Amino acid sequence: MAKKTNKVEAERFLAMLLQYSRDGHFNHIIFSVRLNRNPAYTRQVMNVDLKRISKKYGNDERSYVSMTAEEASQILALINRLKEAMFANSAEKIVWESDLLARHEQEFGYHQIRERDQYDNLEFELLL
């Protein structure tokens, strides 16, 4: 019997991630979707890392979450919709409005680190 994967609620996840990164003074959120080549199984894994480059608060880098790409599909779709809206308006930053945010809106930039390759690996970052 196949297990049904639990998908993460995209808006709530992104709101919590943006709030946590803002409270911790992180200015880079790095998303990495890579193929995990474990001999027992092959699947894509999404890792989210937070990075801070700051003279005032110091430099720091930490892992926020790791999940399968299937579980993160709604998160990636939401970020893709925001990215498309940004490119459609020829803007350098995305303004995301949500009642889930304490500020009700958050502005952040999108930067592609690596394009999709033959294994469908992808890497990008959100700049706060």
Q: Please report whether residue 4 resides in a domain.
A: no
Domain membership of residue 58 (yes or no) is yes
Q: What's the pLDDT score for residue 1?
A: 45
- Distance in angstroms (rounded) separating the CA atoms of residues 50 and 62: 5
Residue that is written with structure tokens 């992104």 in the block = 14
Count up the domains in the chain and report the number. 1
Q: Is residue 20 part of a domain?
A: yes
pTM for this one? 0.86
Q: Which residues form the domain of 77?
A: 10-127
33 assigned to some structural domain: yes
Token pair for residue 65? 């979450």
> pLDDT truncated to tens, each residue of the chain (128 aa)?
456 567 789 999 999 999 999 999 999 999 999 887 766 666 788 999 999 999 999 999 999 999 988 899 999 999 999 999 998 988 889 889 989 988 888 999 999 888 877 777 889 999 98
Residue 3 lies in a domain: no
- DSSP β-bridge partners for residue 41: 38
Quote the CA–CA distance of 98 and 116 in Å, as a whole number. Answer: 29
Residue 56 falls within a domain, yes or no? yes
Does a structural domain hold residue 81? Answer: yes
